[in-house]
Amino acid sequence: MTKLDCTVTTCVHNAEKCCCKSGILVEGAQAKNCCDTCCGSFEENRGGLFKNLFKTPESKLEVECDVANCLYNDDHQCRAERITIAGDGAMAVGQTECAEKADDSRLTVAGSFFT
């Protein structure tokens, strides 16, 4: 399971900068950079009115991933210890992205997850 931070506060599944789902799908099969990826599980919280009363933020969750070029993609499962989904203010799936590595200096050379 991957530790996930999510800055997409406009998503209905977001609470306290975490995701309340037990798993998400990162899309971007042809992605060459982070900006070509997105969280396919994003759903806009229209008007910001919905409050998630029944679920609690999950600090770790299953991340299914379509990004073939990613270093951490292992048979469509993300094996990174930690990722961040970015896209504060997003109103559509395409305005989100799997944005950054964390705690792994090996990745700073490329500046992303990509090989």
Name the residues that contact ligand SF4, by CB under 6 A.
6, 8, 11, 13-14, 19, 21, 24, 39, 41-42, 85, 96
Is residue 26 within a helix (H) or strand (E), and if so which, with residue range? Answer: strand 23-27
Task: Give min distance, CB of 109 to ligand SF4, in A.
Answer: 26
Cβ atoms 33, 113 nearer than 8 A: no
Least distance from ligand SF4 to the Cβ atom of residue 111, Å: 21
Q: How far is the CB of 93 from ligand SF4 (least distance, A)?
A: 8
Nearer to ligand SF4, 8 or 34 (CB): 8
Alpha carbon distance 60, 49 (integer Å): 26
d(C-alpha 103, C-alpha 88), whole Å:
22
